[in-house]
């Protein structure tokens, strides 16, 4: 299955087993323990993907070419797409690199200017006033910042 949406390129190999999957799962676990994944994929999710059925291994070689592209993929490798078309780079929030712990007395004179400076330098920060809602328990969101 291929999601050719340039904002969210994805590629999955799905195996639909007619019989008991335990034998196949054991084979994968024994031979490729890091590859075993079991996801519930529903039909409505499949309809938004480009799908192709492979009858044998020669079909796989025809479709899954090393340099990307091919009949199943509308786009080349993701890193080439992003370098040639930077507008397709996903906009994701940066992981906080700095956790700012402070006294409320220091907030206006020290903490806010330091936070503004770090953000201007492109350094993502975790600061309670931006990360914790009034309705959120600080004990739940604080550890995620650390």
Angstrom CA distances, 135 to 67, 102, 129, 140, stand at 49, 21, 12, 11
pLDDT for the residue 34:
77
pLDDT digits (tens, 9 = 90+) for 92-111: 566 777 888 888 888 889 98
Q: What integer is the mean pLDDT of 15-41?
A: 74
The pLDDT confidence band at residue 45, using thresholds 50, 70 and 90, is: low
Q: Where are the domains of the chain?
A: 21-88, 93-126
Are β-strands 2-3 and 10-11 bridged in parallel, bridged antiparallel, or unpaired? Answer: antiparallel
Angstrom CA distances, 94 to 28, 87, 117, stand at 35, 17, 16
Nearest residue to 13 (alpha-carbon basis) of 5, 28, 26: 28
pLDDT digits (tens, 9 = 90+) for 47-104: 777 777 777 878 877 777 666 566 677 766 777 777 777 765 555 566 777 888 888 8
User: How far is Cα 114 from Cα 60, in angstroms, rounded to an integer?
Assistant: 54
Confirm if 125 and 119 have CB atoms less than 8 A apart. Answer: yes
Residue 10 has pLDDT above 70, yes or no: yes
pLDDT digits (tens, 9 = 90+) for 122-143: 788 888 777 766 555 555 555 5
pLDDT for the residue 43:
65
């Amino acid at each position: 299955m291929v999601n050719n949406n340039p904002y969210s390129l994805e590629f999955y190999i799905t195996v639909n087993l007619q019989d008991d999957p335990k034998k196949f799962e054991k084979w994968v676990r024994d031979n490729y323990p890091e590859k075993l994944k079991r996801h519930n994929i529903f039909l409505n999710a499949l309809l938004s993907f480009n799908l192709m059925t492979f009858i044998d291994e020669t079909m796989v070689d025809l479709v899954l070419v090393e340099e990307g592209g091919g009949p199943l993929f509308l786009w080349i490798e993701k890193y080439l797409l992003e370098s040639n078309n930077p507008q397709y780079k996903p906009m994701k929030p940066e992981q906080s690199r700095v956790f700012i712990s402070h006294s409320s007395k220091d907030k206006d004179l020290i903490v806010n200017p330091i936070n503004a400076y770090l953000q201007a330098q492109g350094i993502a920060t975790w600061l309670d006033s931006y990360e914790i809602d009034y309705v959120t328990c600080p004990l739940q969101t604080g550890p995620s910042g650390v």
